[in-house]
Every structure is written in C-alpha cells, then in structure tokens.
A and B are shown apart, each in its own frame.
Chain A
Amino acid sequence: MSLKIEHLDHVYAQNSPFEFKALDDVNVELENGHFIALIGHTGSGKSTLIQHLNGLIEPTSGTVYLNGVDIFNQSKEDLVKTRFSVGLVFQYPEHQLFEETVAKDVAFGPKNLKLLEEEIQERVKWAIEMVGLDYEKMKDVSPFELSGGQMRRVAIAGVLAMKPKVLILDEPTAGLDPHGRDTILGQIEKLHKATGNTVILVSHSMEDVGRYADRILVMYKGKAVYYDTPTVVFRHVDELEKMGLAVPEVKYLMRALKKRYPEIDDDIFTVEAAKAEIERVFGGERDV
C-alpha cells in the first residue's frame, strides 16, 4: 500500500502560548513494499508523523492518502479499516500488555476484526512464532512473567496478528540488548521479505538503519528533508550531523580511506560490505 503525504501540517496547542509546529508542510510519497527507516532528532516530528499515517491524530492542514484514498476524508467505518491496515507499534509497547495469557493478548486485535475463531487462533500462533517465540511454551503463560525482551515481542505479535499492510514501529529495540535487537529486527525483515509489506522503522541507531532499510526518510524540525536510498542519504554526512544525526561508523571509515585511496568506494555502511571493498582494494596483501 502506498502512502502519499501531502502538505501535512500539525500544530500542537494552536493559539496558545505553548503553540508548537510539529509538522511543517511535509510532502513525501512512500511507495509500496519498502523497508523505510524514519530518522530525526528528538522532537523532529517522527512520532507526530507516524500517528497521522493511520489516522490516530488529525492534521492541522494537508492530508495523507492510503492507496489513493484520503484517510481524513472518509466514513468512520472506513477509518477503522485504515487503522486495521496500518499497524502501529508504539515505543515500549510492552506497557500495553493486559491479558491473562500471551495467546489472549495477541488475540485481542484479531478478535476486533470479527474473524472466525479458527482464523484468530491461526493468526495468534503465526504471530507468536513470527516474533521468534515458541507458541506451545508461551501461549498459556502470563505476559507479566516474561523478560522485558519477550514482553516486547509479545506486544509486537499483537500488532502482527492484525496482518497490517503497513507496519510502523517506533523504536522497537530501545533498551534491548544486542541479541534482543537482532532477533526483533531480523524477524521484521523476514516478515517483510515473505509478505512484501511496507515497514516503517523509527530508529536512532544508524547502524541498524544501514543494515535493514532500503529507504531512509529524514525529518528535521518538522520537515521531511530527505527521502532516498541509504546510499544517497548517507552521502550527506555533514548535513546529517548538523541535524543531530550521524552515519554508521563504517561510513566514516570508508570516507577516511577514500582520502588516501581514491579508488575506494565509500558508498558503504555495513561491516560486511566494508570487508568486501577493503579486500577488493587491498587484495593480495594478505599474509596467507
């Protein structure tokens, strides 16, 4: 599903002393099927933007089209359908767990879809396994007895069980250790590849962004400043730093190497790609 954001403005506490323009004429078209990283400094408008994408908050002006349909100009029933097709995982989603068992918690969303019981159970099993948990072991456990990382995954499973066409995750790995982070992002990537859904990942880790995303949307002071492939966006090293952002460490290395060895390709931002490029340029220097 494509999302077209047109002249989107959002002003908090308008006409009060606390007036704050969180989104300032955002224009961008997010084509179907990409793994999009949304980056920007704290307060750049990322969270405000994603809440517009499934109609949770209304724009001050401008609008969002989901597959050509203006999501803020449709019947209430259709808006509900929009919310079902654009799944939003908030920051620290484990705070929203509430059911007695893992299976019941994950089933909450699909039940609201008024699906047949059989279909609900199938989806619950699928979603729990999709986040890398063992369905048989987990289904009857209270979500509150799980570790923080497991709770996070159960909460994400609850959104996956809705089978959203667009999956939006707001910093899903904040506070997790490297293993927990790799598990969650790895599963999201697997799902993305298997179903071709659109993923929008809000992240502060440029390393994760470089590793998983095929598009990057950069927000700065309420504006969408770049929307392109990681290769192109990460070329703007100085501009990104001025915006309080950064590029993956590997990119800095390749840039430093390029100054000495102009033949090096510095459009590189993962460790694996850096290794391959270094071996290409420095090949034959190994001592084996």
Chain B
Amino acid sequence: MNEQTAFVTHGQNGQDTQSQPIIRVENLSYAYPVEDSDQPKQALSDVNLTVARGEFVGIIGHNGSGKSTLSKILNGILSPDSGDAWIEGMNTKDPEKIWQIRKTAGMVFQNPDNQLVSSVVETDVAFGMENLGVPSEQIKEKVTEVLDIVRMSDYRKARPHQLSGGQKQRIAIAGILAMQPDCIIFDEPTAMLDPNGRAEVMKTITNLNREHGMTVLHITHYMTELVGADRIVVMDGGRVVATGTPREIFSQVAMLKEIGLDVPQMTELAYLLNQDGYDIPKDVLEIPEMVEALCHLK
C-alpha cells in the first residue's frame, strides 16, 4: 500500500486530515472490456486530480470523455487498472473501506426517480441512517437539520412522487447529507430538470459549498452552472486536457468548441465581438460584466 495512506486516519472532518486533499487521484487508468474483442476500450488514461477541502470543482467533457468512469472509481463501483484514487486518504481499491468511502463521498445522480426509495419524504431522508442503526431520536434531529439545509422542511410529510424534479433532487441531496459526508459528487444532477428545478438545485449546491463548507465535485453539461466554481477540469478522450478557474477555461472558446463543448452564452458573445475587433474582455462570464464592458465602449 502506498505510504500516504499509512499515516492518514479517516474520519468525519478529523483534525488530522485538514491539510490533505479530500480527493486525490494519481495516474489513474481504466479500460472497459469489449465483447468479442481483445482490444479493451480505454476510458481513462493517466488522470491526475486533487480536490481540496471546501473546494467547488466542476468537471466538463463530452459523453464518453471519462467523467462518469472517474466518478464510479471515486465511489468504488469500478476498480482502476492502474493508478490510485483516495478519498480522505482511503484507497478506493480497498474493499474493506468501501462503505466508509461511500459515506465520506456521497453521490447524487441524474435521475431523481431512481434515488428515492420511500413513500414519505422524512423516511426517505432517514433511510441511510436507519440502515446504520442510528438511534431514532438522533435520526429525527438530523432529518430536521438536513431538510432545513435544502429548504424542504415544509415537505417533511409529503410523498416524493408528488414533488417536482428539483424538489426530488433536493430530497436526494438531503438523504446524502444525513450521512454526514465530507464531500458530495454530483453526476449531472440537473440534466432532467426544468429551468426552475435546475436553478433550485444549483442554489442548493452553491449554498452547501459556500455556507456549509461542503466540498463539491460537480459533473455537468450546462456550462453556466460552473461560472461560480473554484476550478474547472476539462476531460477529453479519457484525459484531463485543461484545469483552471472558470475565466481561464471558458475564455478558451476555440479549444472547448474543438472538443465538442459549449461556453456560457456571455463568453461566446464576448468571443464573437472580440473577433470583430471590439474591445471586450474575453473572460466575461455573466450578464452584469457584459453590460459593464459594453458601457465602456460608448
């Protein structure tokens, strides 16, 4: 076993792990076997990545670029062919740590309907804790607390199937929060939601990160959702091809288009105006900035 794992004790926000990155990925490679073929399909090639405590990191890349494979390895669903992934110092290859890893790095997926198990919101949120045998008084308190964080307290007794998509995702997030994870991995949580649902879920994720210090790894195809991220990781063909702040990444419009990705509409507009010789900063991300930049022209 690698020496780094030896001196790190895992634990919920343990003092001893403060300076360690929560997620650390080194030289990770993975290939899917292909039926009737000796040639496996390479999904990840030599990926390196760290996510620090409290960071909000976005991952973008086209379908098949390796994003979901990476998230499955972080969660111990897949085991890498070579290289390692650590969550709070725990190697995701270690079968004995698997439950602790999944508790430490919670995951929220695309389809809210596949994540809710109970017929009442509060029992759904309590599901994970009940499996762990948490005393019922404690469960009640925790449910109250996490429903408050996702602003769904009024729906405690509601039936999940009567909720909107955005509300269902917030309940799924509450269920993860109840397990007291140190970080949450969101795998396209807004892909199936209407505009309002998308806004609700993004507000919840941003709030978790900013107000509650939750470490967030957010995989998405909606570039505007990452305008406020600390860092963006761009994946293509199973490799990390760029990392940087949203401004650094989105201002590379040509590179992103080349690999089949979008940029936020404001950045695209700035890029087009720039090409026509207008003096607009290339890293404009949001509407107020664009208005400011245009006002300077007049």
The yes or no verdict on A and B being binding partners is yes
**B279 to A42, Cβ gap below 8 A?**
no
In the complex, how many angstroms separate the beta carbon of A150 from the nearest chain B beta carbon? Answer: 10
Is A175 on the interface with B (CB-CB < 8 A)? yes
In the complex, how many angstroms separate the beta carbon of B36 from the nearest chain A beta carbon? Answer: 9
Q: A204-B195, A244-B197, A279-B273 are in contact. Are A179 and B62 (CB under 8 A)?
A: yes
Is A245 on the interface with B (CB-CB < 8 A)? yes
Is A149 on the interface with B (CB-CB < 8 A)? yes
Which of the segments A6-14, A60-68, A73-81, A270-278 contacts the partner chain? A270-278
Contacts of A267 in B (CB 8 A): none
Contacts of A147 in B (CB 8 A): 63-64
Q: Which of B35, B188, B269 contacts A271 (CB 8 A)?
A: B269
Contacts of A180 in B (CB 8 A): 62-63
Q: How large is the interface on A (under 10, 10 to 19, 20 to 34, 35 or more residues)?
A: 35 or more
Per-residue A-contact encoding for B253-290, CB less than 8 Å = 1, 0 else: 00000001110111011001100111100000001101
**A282 to B278, Cβ gap below 8 A?**
yes
Which of the segments A27-35, A185-193, A223-231, A252-260 contacts the partner chain? A252-260
Q: Give the distance in Å from the alpha carbon of A7 to the alpha carbon of B40 in the complex.
A: 57
> What are 15 A-B residue pairs whose CB atoms fall within 8 Å in the complex?
A42-B164, A174-B191, A179-B260, A206-B195, A244-B194, A249-B265, A249-B266, A253-B291, A271-B265, A271-B268, A282-B298, A285-B278, A286-B277, A286-B278, A286-B279
Q: Give the distance in Å from the alpha carbon of A271 to the alpha carbon of B297 in the complex.
A: 19
**A288 to B287, Cβ gap below 8 A?**
no
The residue of chain B having its C-beta at the shortest distance from the C-beta of A246 within the complex is B195
Given contacts A204-B193, A260-B295, A282-B298, 17 further A-B contacts (CB under 8 A): A41-B196, A148-B63, A175-B110, A176-B63, A178-B221, A179-B62, A179-B260, A204-B194, A204-B198, A206-B195, A245-B195, A249-B287, A253-B290, A261-B298, A275-B276, A278-B294, A282-B294
The residue of chain B having its C-beta at the shortest distance from the C-beta of A181 within the complex is B221
In the complex, how many angstroms separate the beta carbon of B223 from the nearest chain A beta carbon? Answer: 8
4 nearest A-B residue pairs (beta carbon): A179-B260, A244-B196, A288-B277, A286-B277
| Residues of B that sit less than 8 Å from A by CB | 35, 61-64, 110, 164-166, 188, 191-199, 221, 224, 260-262, 264-266, 268-269, 272-273, 276-279, 287-288, 290-291, 294-295, 297-298
Q: Within A166-182, which residues are at the interface with B (CB < 8 Å)? A: 174-180
Per-residue B-contact encoding for A138-155, CB less than 8 Å = 1, 0 else: 000000010111000000
Is A102 on the interface with B (CB-CB < 8 A)? no
Q: Give the distance in Å from the alpha carbon of A256 to the alpha carbon of B266 in the complex.
A: 13
In the complex, how many angstroms separate the beta carbon of B139 from the nearest chain A beta carbon? Answer: 29
**A41 to B164, Cβ gap below 8 A?**
yes
**A250 to B269, Cβ gap below 8 A?**
yes
The residue of chain A having its C-beta at the shortest distance from the C-beta of B279 within the complex is A287
Q: Within A202-258, which residues are at the interface with B (CB < 8 Å)? A: 204, 206-207, 244-246, 248-250, 252-253, 256-257
In the complex, how many angstroms separate the beta carbon of B137 from the nearest chain A beta carbon? Answer: 33
Contacts of A278 in B (CB 8 A): 269, 273, 278, 294
Contacts of A178 in B (CB 8 A): 62, 221, 260-262
**A42 to B197, Cβ gap below 8 A?**
yes
Q: Give the distance in Å from the alpha carbon of A179 to the alpha carbon of B259 in the complex.
A: 9
The residue of chain A having its C-beta at the shortest distance from the C-beta of B190 within the complex is A204
In the complex, how many angstroms separate the beta carbon of B233 from the nearest chain A beta carbon? Answer: 15
In the complex, how many angstroms separate the beta carbon of B24 from the nearest chain A beta carbon? Answer: 27
**A250 to B265, Cβ gap below 8 A?**
yes
Contacts of B110 in A (CB 8 A): 175
Q: Give the distance in Å from the alpha carbon of A240 to the alpha carbon of B291 in the complex.
A: 23
In the complex, how many angstroms separate the beta carbon of A215 from the nearest chain B beta carbon? Answer: 19
Q: Which of B61, B199, B276, B298 contacts A286 (CB 8 A)?
A: B276
Q: Give the distance in Å from the alpha carbon of A260 to the alpha carbon of B295 in the complex.
A: 9
The residue of chain B having its C-beta at the shortest distance from the C-beta of A284 within the complex is B297
**B224 to A249, Cβ gap below 8 A?**
yes
**A256 to B260, Cβ gap below 8 A?**
no
Contacts of A207 in B (CB 8 A): 265
Contacts of A249 in B (CB 8 A): 224, 264-266, 287
**B64 to A256, Cβ gap below 8 A?**
no
Q: Give the distance in Å from the alpha carbon of A174 to the alpha carbon of B111 in the complex.
A: 11
Q: A207-B265, A285-B298 are in contact. Are A275 and B273 (CB under 8 A)?
A: yes
In the complex, how many angstroms separate the beta carbon of B215 from the nearest chain A beta carbon? Answer: 25
**B191 to A175, Cβ gap below 8 A?**
yes
Contacts of B290 in A (CB 8 A): 253
Contacts of A285 in B (CB 8 A): 278-279, 297-298
In the complex, how many angstroms separate the beta carbon of A57 from the nearest chain B beta carbon? Answer: 19
In the complex, how many angstroms separate the beta carbon of A156 from the nearest chain B beta carbon? Answer: 16
Contacts of A145 in B (CB 8 A): 35
**B261 to A177, Cβ gap below 8 A?**
yes
In the complex, how many angstroms separate the beta carbon of B58 from the nearest chain A beta carbon? Answer: 14
Q: A42-B165, A271-B269, A282-B278 are in contact. Are A177 and B63 (CB under 8 A)?
A: yes
Q: A148-B63, A204-B193 are in contact. Are A279 and B276 (CB under 8 A)?
A: yes
The residue of chain A having its C-beta at the shortest distance from the C-beta of B221 within the complex is A177
Q: Give the distance in Å from the alpha carbon of A288 to the alpha carbon of B274 in the complex.
A: 10
The residue of chain A having its C-beta at the shortest distance from the C-beta of B272 within the complex is A275
The residue of chain B having its C-beta at the shortest distance from the C-beta of A206 within the complex is B195
**A253 to B261, Cβ gap below 8 A?**
no
In the complex, how many angstroms separate the beta carbon of B279 from the nearest chain A beta carbon? Answer: 5
The residue of chain A having its C-beta at the shortest distance from the C-beta of B34 within the complex is A145
Q: Give the distance in Å from the alpha carbon of A249 to the alpha carbon of B225 in the complex.
A: 13
The residue of chain B having its C-beta at the shortest distance from the C-beta of A152 within the complex is B63
